[in-house]
Amino acid sequence: MEYFDLIVIGFGKGGKTLAATMGRLGKRVAMVEQSAQMYGGTCINIGCVPTKALVHHAEHPGAGSPAERHRKAVDDTRALTTTLRGKNFANLDTIDSVTVITGRATFLDAKTVRVTAGDDVLELGAETIVINTGAVPTVPPIPGLRASARLLTSTDLIDLDHLPKRLAILGGGYVGVEFASMYAQFSSAVTVLDAGPRIMPREDEDVAEAATEILRGAGVEFVPGAHVTAVRDIENGVEITYEAGGETHTLAADEVLAATGRTPATEGLGLERAGVRTTPSGAVEVDEFLRTSSPNVYAVGDVNGGPQFTYISLDDSRIVTDQLTGRGRRSTVDRKFVPYTVFMSPALSRVGLTEREAVERGLPVKVVEKAVADIAGMPRAKIVGETRGLMKFVVDRETDLILGATLLSVDSQELINLVTLAMRQGTTASELRDAIYTHPSSTEAFNEVLSTAPRETHREGNVLS
């Protein structure tokens, strides 16, 4: 038995940040990660970094055939993640009081874990244990899907050596949209089978429609209302059977991507032995301070059921650090206006309320929006040759405060952070409109968009008008 001040299970953003912080304070920390290929966590190895690297390669194709360009993109991405993985390991390994242990951790009780790696077994004890095991791709229970040799998850697809000529994607959510955009640009024939009536159901209908048209223009085909009933391997591919419009259809593809969400990774942790409860969705149950039902055990990152973003995991680490070394006041309640980006091409970014959400809450709403192609005061879009998309702001017509913004445009992943800061600081739409921005930039589009004549939105029964 080895004793530590802190055990962190999982090398993700929140866990590694917390481990480094506590280690630099002189605390004895054990970082337990089940795979040496996951040093640094999901984002570095199989999430944000490799997918966005592939998006970049897809948007900026080099010389060669589509298959050659794809292979170079995968090779370059592997090299990048290998470099970052090594740096992440070194960042902890060079702290004298931090020990990185590779193996699978299982709780024996609330203060003890067993780590196994082959025939090797360690038992570790600590007053505080942090669960940071992340989430894994969800594979829906469709007959034949799990058994298919052609099944891919997002983890598989980013490391695929060959370019699928025909790629079927199950799910029209954010992951499905991102991969559809990426692989269409790599020249795959992409078909998205979505059970819902449209992609990205959390977005306003006009935004989803604009995104759909952009993706269709890139060659993506959509089948809305598709209920997949069976998957079976055929010679040189896979056949997907689905029902849509009251009829049964089949689709042949080279590979099928299950893009139907991610499930918190708690299997095999032995949480019941530590007295740690989980939610009906399988996430570790936490309070606003990220404490579990066992007082000395915390959960950070995707495993706790919060928004599945790296930057949320980072903020989780700040909350737990405050619990362990500070005044213990920081909590998830403090979070306001968390933005996100879907890296289709161009990127779709949003913060705050959609138009529909604001109206459903009974707020006095006015909306200003403009197609990027019509924004004269945004020459950067024309300079870089990306004039697709729109910008949309939802504003409280009484206070002039920004309730939400959706930016489907070039540079939206950067612009949304400025809007988010403005919302957090109570900056009005008029102040954002009249601010001085550099030229030529994407930001200066706000001068024009927020000067557009607004339209008011009201709720009549179940209809927005």
The per-residue pLDDT for range 257-273, each reduced to its tens digit, is 999 999 999 999 999 99
pLDDT at 460: 52
Domain assignment present for residue 141? The answer is no
Flag whether pLDDT at 464 surpasses 90: no
In angstroms, rounded to a whole number, what is the distance separating the alpha carbons of residues 80 and 462? 49
How many domains would you assign to the chain?
A: 3
Domain assignment present for residue 144? The answer is no
> CA neighbours within 13 Å on the CB side: how many for 348?
23
Phi, psi values for residue 256, rounded to 5°? -130, 125
Domain assignment present for residue 441? The answer is yes
Q: Are residues 7 and 130 in the same domain?
A: yes
Active site residue ranges: 439
CATH number at residue 426: 3.30.390.30
CATH number at residue 221: 3.50.50.60
Q: Are residues 256 and 268 in the same domain?
A: no
Helix H or strand E segment including 431? helix 429-433
Q: What is the mean pLDDT of the chain?
A: 96
Q: Are residues 129 and 59 in the same domain?
A: yes
Domain extent for 18: 2-135+263-334
Share of the chain above pLDDT 90, in %: 96
pLDDT at 85: 96
Average pLDDT for 114-133: 97
Q: Are residues 437 and 297 in the same domain?
A: no
pLDDT digits (tens, 9 = 90+) for 218-246: 999 999 999 999 999 999 999 999 999 99
Average pLDDT for 146-162: 96
Q: Are residues 250 and 327 in the same domain?
A: no
Q: Are residues 84 and 40 in the same domain?
A: yes
User: In 305-369, which residue ranges form alpha helices assigned H by DSSP?
Assistant: 310-325, 355-360
Residue 295 burial class via C-beta count within 10 angstroms: exposed 0-12, middle 13-18, buried 19 and up: exposed
pLDDT at 61: 87
In angstroms, rounded to a whole number, what is the distance separating the alpha carbons of residues 290 and 266? 16
Q: Are residues 323 and 289 in the same domain?
A: yes
- Tell me the chain's radius of gyration from C-alpha atoms: 24
